[in-house]
Structure 1
């Protein structure tokens, strides 16, 4: 194990530098490399890391700035090669990197089964020091990856798991894990990547995780009317569905949603409807069977979540939505008048308006319709 730096680090490196380091292990050990600090002229200076003993080998990544706390690489065999280049102007602080030879115990890999589990090395016994393991979970067709950690016990200061939304650690970081919480992740497309790192001291039990491929569903709906279904409707939906639709109107319009068919496994599968653009907004209701179920948003958005568990699927659901011109309200003056939308011009299609007229003390309300067409 060891460390190396750009010339003159932590002072500014020179102009017109080109440096090459080759890190070579022996035996059945690979090389783990972590950049702890990077400060370069991002337009023009760079670090490149190659998977082998020269720059003719596959390029693992190019670095121009500090990312995700650190940038970590692992060789597939005995060697990593690092090249540092600076041009003729604007030097910066440069970089600091650490490497370690990783033990003979293999870990990581490509996971392509539709469901399964994986572990830290030696789980449930303590994992090894100097581990750097990468698993890529790859689905096919219109399916995403759902990943759940069922057990996590790490050295919190120094060891970690990172989950990335794509087929490598160059994609978006979804989360970093150092202890057990209710931790689940879902890919945007076909792939999730999991990186596990341990330093040279203090190991713990490690982690256990399950994954399953999920039929892709959900989306953002912006048409003024339409319909939505559970996956494969009217055929049975798949196990492990988790779909979220957000229906978004514009202007002074709300969303009206009506379920015309619901057939679910009542114990365990459900639909939830939220009054807003996400599941963080107020829950309007949870649906497990068909009733006369209609919902209206208070502002521009409704969100619909559909969930199914690991067993017993049914036909699912069908629903229609329509955007409504805002109308109705609470009327408290002692006398007044109100109208259908746009009166005396023609009212709009798809209107649903409610007025509540409220008196005070010992008074009743008298209501007269003077014109109806």
Structure 2
């Protein structure tokens, strides 16, 4: 087969080619997209082609030529893209070996053999392919890491992780040969260690080729993430192991910082403690050649601790309880002395002198986290010096100088908004002390608002204090089109049943409600199917509670929400991305109501084109299968009142139904089930059942069976469930031999008739026509006649 044109909708419109018949043949190709396929060769004298299209986009299609030749050897197995082949002979019994280029993984066998069966020549197994994998564990001393499906553009929605491990006491050098990712949306994260819990060396995107990276140990972890939209050419990375010429990463110190990133021999790194902490140990480490001839640090890493008491003399500082941020120990008394120059006071709280003594005593057995105090020396208020300005609660102050002309700015923590001026200035006042031009602002929680940032925080009004009564707050979140919103619930407590937060999947309260939440029951994550969410919080006139803290972020809308699987049904298909189809099937005995196939629709909102269907047990119906299940209406729930349901089972002639009950519960005497041996309402009743006892199994002797159920106006029960299976009825006895006569007709199945005739000179004694009757064991309707 030689392709002249090929252009179909990628993934959704597919041409499949079988070597031989579709049933029993070998699938040669599965083609879609716009790439012109290479020639395909059959090994059978037939080729089957099947072209499937979905209900969306169509393209130009395809045109191909075929030519016929006589097979005397195997076809050329070809050369795998991104791989090599050794061996060119194609005679039966010959072998060909395959190997992939660095960075690619062989999909299939490394060796294939030319095989001949009934003049058919083919390779066994099929020739392999070479693909760039999505992640893996790499342990060789050198190698390549490729973006998935390289050199083709990488696929959407991929999460690929690679772990590179080389010889212990070696480090890894990583060079970027090619690099092109969608800016700001597709990322390659590289961590200095075996997993993402270790230090991040860099997050890379765009088309700028990053500089060389070197690990500090013998492992690297690479995480590639692509979103649901644009892709690019990807990357080619080369790694090699190098002898370690530097010390291992010494790590950071808790409650402190480190200065010095060079880890080579002779370099130094120095540790400093955060304000309020004291360094224990030597602050400076030097990388030297150790006694084992390997680079190592000359001293242990120091620690930063919060002491019990101390002398403080700087213009600003921090006073901590002992052991902070851990719990202080019991039975301690700590004295902290803070002394600043005489021309200054202190804001801890504002003191009138330049000295403060802080005494902390812990007496009981239990302890807690303690305290964290910040002090600052401020010049005494004068004609050129304004009063000190405190940090706003739930916000921060930017600026530490309060002299005339100084400007102090303020901003609030996430979820809070500034009430008052964003900045104040210290001004001179004639014949008076300097003063600020405006009062210090405060940070409050708004009751609602329009949020358009890609990330944000939503708090109940007054948070972290309890919210007020009689609130009616609305927040509307809007992010760029094509994106979705994910809300993470950090904390949530409201008055049960009376104070509620409603979340709507869209920009209005008429859109689908994701949920109404009160008390403490709320899912950890809420996801939108569009770029908008609408939140409505209301409280009544009485009890309040601690409230809530929600954080939202913008996420890629890669898929539709997980569809609800109908009760008594199953879902077929796990892919929920755009244009993918999910189907539903009902368990035996149930009937599907709605659409059996739903598709994830394209557009700015990810929604299914139809709601998920239901699986219900209907009142009556027709069964034409050789086996099946029949349920009372509404099973396993109670059947409805005043029901009259008729089911008919139609089997091929010569078969009956074997009925076996699995469940049975009806109102005794009033609600009943009848099994009739035939298709009519007047057919013989072979079983009538009512009450709680499960009926015994029974056999019908007709290929048509009627099932009738009746319920009255009063008590209802769960009803019944039974399965039936066709069984073959025996033929009637063979009438041959018939002395002195002949039998006309050769059919001995149910309903068939035969005739008897005597030879000349003999007289028929009995009936001349006999019919094979219904029954579990077949009998003729009359005795055999005789000729005398």
User: Relative CO higher for 1 or 2, CA cutoff 8 Å, sep ≥ 6?
Assistant: 1
Say which one has the larger Rg. 2
**Same fold per superposition (TM over 0.5):** no
TM-score by length of structure 2 reads 0.15
